[in-house]
Structures are given as structure tokens and as C-alpha cells.
Amino acid sequence: MLTKEATQQIEANNEIFEYLRGYLDEVCSSIAEKYGLYDSHGCPRKAFVLDTLLKYSCYGCINKVFTQPRKTDSIDKLFLQNHKLAVNLLVEQLRHHLKSAGFKVEEEVKGEYGRLDIIIKPTGTGVIVEIGNTIEIIIEVKTGASFTYAQLFRYLIERPNAVLVLWRVTQRQIIVIDGGKIRGLLLMVMEAALNRGTAILNGYYEECSHNPVRNEPYVIEDAQGLVDDFLSALAETIPSVVETVLDIIRSHLGDIETSQQTMEVENLDH
């Protein structure tokens, strides 16, 4: 059971977190307005702005990314299909194993009050698993070799209590990051993004010699080898991803049950 001092510290950190997150959202909106960064629906590209602020420490590079959009932003359809296949298979495997474990799996609608129904939602980058109002698991699917902490931190800034599972298919790696356990780090990450964002808004940057904007398309030199390796890695690792998600759910539900039992004992003592 947490001490009174520890509980107060957590509440204070939560207040600071919410303040910084709101301020950061305003800064990202202002940057989008300054550089004319809007999507096809006329909405500010705040995710792109935040990714850029988190990714680059050089103010000159940040300005170049905002002023020199990529000319070649298309991704080879092979990569897109690999990603789509991984997400589709993962969704079905999660549905099957969660139902086998006794959970009720809903189709992107909320369950009844008091029930730990599970919602599985495919996204543009992976899958989100929600268990009632208690657990949120973000599964980020990476079918290539690259990834950035900037993107992962952005997800956890948006959903600070979530558990993020990074599935690097061809690297055969599964990495788990619990947002609740790195709250202090997320505060530092947001402060860094705010410092960079306010500097950009106020024009405090100088031209640099770096080249953060690359317009050369990625060329697949060995498509057969890429497909063979991807399909093999997919079959090998997807059971481990499902088991990782199940372990996270079991662990969190166990923590909730223990907490409830502790509260019941304390109430009896009083």
C-alpha cells in the first residue's frame, strides 16, 4: 500500500503532466498554424509536429522539416501489405486467445457497466487493446528495421497510463514499456519538446548544415529475401506477442484484485 507522501507525490506529478500536455498541445497547434501544416481535412498536423519536436535536438533541423516537406512520401506497397498482414493476423489471434481465456471481446463498442469486456481496435500503426476502464495496451507493429522513440513517446503522452508493446517483426523482438512506470521520463520528454517548440515559435534557431529531409525513395534490392524473412519472422513471433499481451492483462488484473482486497481489509479494520 502506498504511503500518504507517495500518493501525494503521484497526484502532484499527474497535475504537472496534465499541465505540460495541455501546453504542449497548444504549442503544436501554434506551430502548425505558423508553418501551414494541415491535413487534407484542414486539421492541424499536431502528431507530425510533436514527432518532429521529439525527434530532433537541432533547432535548425526542426525548422527544415517544417519548411521542406518530403517530395517522395510514398511507401512501397510491399511494406504496406506486410504491415497490414501482421496487424490482421494479430487481431484475429488476440480475439481467439482472449475468448479462450474467458474474456468477452467486443467489436469497438463499450461493454456493460462493471464488466471487463475487451475491445480490440486496429489502428494505422498497430492495435489497441482496451480492457474495461482498467487497462490499455498499445501494440506498435514495426515490419522493418527502423523505429523512433519519438513516436513511442508520443503515444504515451497521449495515453500516459497505457502499456506499450513494440513488436519488431523481422528483428524478432518484443519490447514492453509501461507508461505509468516512466512518468518522470515522460515529463522530461515533454519539457524538451516544449523548449524546442517555443524556440521555433519565437524564431530562436539558426541555419544548420544537416539534412534531415531525405527525398530519395527506398529501393528494395532483394524483394524475395525480404518477403521470405518477413513471413518466417511473422509465424515465429506472433504467438509470443499474444502471450505478452495476455501476461500484461493477467498482471494488471492481479494488481487490481490485490488492491481491492487491501482496501476491504482496511475498511474492516476501521
Candidate from 4-13, 37-46, 154-163, 207-216 with smallest mean pLDDT:
4-13
Mean pLDDT along residues 165-172: 97
pTM of the model: 0.85
Residue 10 above 70 pLDDT?
no
Which tens digit of pLDDT belongs to each residue from 93-138?
999 999 998 888 876 544 333 344 788 999 888 999 998 778 899 9
Number of domains in the chain: 1
- Report the 10 Å Cβ neighbour count for 73: 8
Mean pLDDT along residues 241-252: 94
Residue type, 136: E
Which tens digit of pLDDT belongs to each residue from 199-240?
999 999 888 999 888 767 777 889 999 999 999 999 999 999
- Contact 166/146 with Cβ under 8 angstroms? no
Q: How many residues does the chain have?
A: 270
Range of the domain at 60: 4-213+222-269
What integer best gives the mean pLDDT of the chain?
A: 86
Coil, strand, or helix at residue 130? strand
Bridge partners of 105, per DSSP, are: 118
Question: Grid coordinates representing 199?
Answer: 524556440
| More reliable by pLDDT, 60 or 132 | 60
Reported confidence tier of residue 255, pLDDT bands at 50, 70, 90: low
Contacts for 115 with CB less than 8 Å, ≥ 6 apart: 104, 132
pLDDT of residue 178: 96
Residue 71 above 70 pLDDT?
no
Residue 2 above 60 pLDDT?
no
- Contact 245/137 with Cβ under 8 angstroms? yes
pLDDT of residue 111: 38
- Contact 9/15 with Cβ under 8 angstroms? no
Give the whole-angstrom CA distance, residue 220 versus residue 226.
8
* E strand intervals along the chain: 105-106, 118-122, 126-131, 135-142, 163-168, 173-178
Mean pLDDT along residues 31-38: 96
